[in-house]
Amino acid sequence: MKHYPFILFYLFCTVFIYAFQASFWVYLFCFLLFSAVVVWGSFDMTLNYFIESFIHKRTKIKEVALTFDDGPTEFTPKFLDILKEKNIKATFFCIGTQIEKYPEIFQRIINEGHAIGNHTYSHSNNTGFLSTSKMIEEILECDEVMLKTGNIKTHLYRPPFGVTNPNITKAIKKTQKRSIGWNVRSLDTVINDDKKIYKRITKNLKKGSIILMHDTSDKSYKVLVDLLLFLEREKYSTFTID
């Protein structure tokens, strides 16, 4: 889905206002409603509102992608251990500052054949408010750390928090990255119960799904252990985003 429905919605509101000579309150209502739709488009990557992102794979076979954000961390080796045991490759979207903190773990991710994606240098909480130049700086600085630490380049980029807007879109295009999203969000950094996280993932799983998790806690590790058993039992294979 592209942004055309939102444009049509805006045009409908405009025609409605002029046709019926609406009052100030109708103007205000339409403005607030349209603003809400734009915000929705900013935070929901599946809408492809500002930029077309890869959110699932078109496939007829039972395969999914395991992706992990915000690492590497002190917990990442446990994730790598279980993935190695099961002979499964995943995609890790890494933060530059975390790579600097755990360079050996980052190198291990590469050595064990997993795909790597850029997740900005600092993963700023103000990502949605940064200028285009600052976003470019965030992306390029992470690229530089990856090249220096692991001698690796990547064209994959995942926006922190899944936030997109015109500035972020320009930065992605100018750095020649491919925006990568998901269609199964675990919410493993929000939900405290690992069983609820597991159910959330498995009930929404489809052929070609891209699963968003984080290699940042024991809780998420427990979910991964159960999820790998589920994938094995249901005869799902895995693919990496690259």
The number of domains in the chain is 2
Place of tokens 């998420």: 220
Range of the domain at 70: 63-238
Tens of pLDDT, residues 147-169: 999 999 999 999 999 999 999 99
Higher pLDDT, 161 or 1: 161
Same domain, 33 and 90: no
Same domain, 88 and 25: no
Same domain, 83 and 168: yes
Catalytic residue among 114, 119, 123, 214: 214
From 179, 144, 190, select the one nearest 53 (Cα to Cα).
179
Q: What sign results for the dihedral spanned by CA atoms 68, 69, 75, 80?
A: positive
Tens of pLDDT, residues 2-32: 455 555 555 556 655 555 555 655 555 555 5
Same domain, 22 and 95: no
To the query of whether residue 114 is one of the catalytic residues in this protein, the response is no
Let me know if 166 is exposed, middle or buried by CB neighbors in 10 A (0-12, 13-18, 19+). Answer: exposed
pTM of this prediction exceeds 0.75: yes
To the query of whether residue 155 is one of the catalytic residues in this protein, the response is no
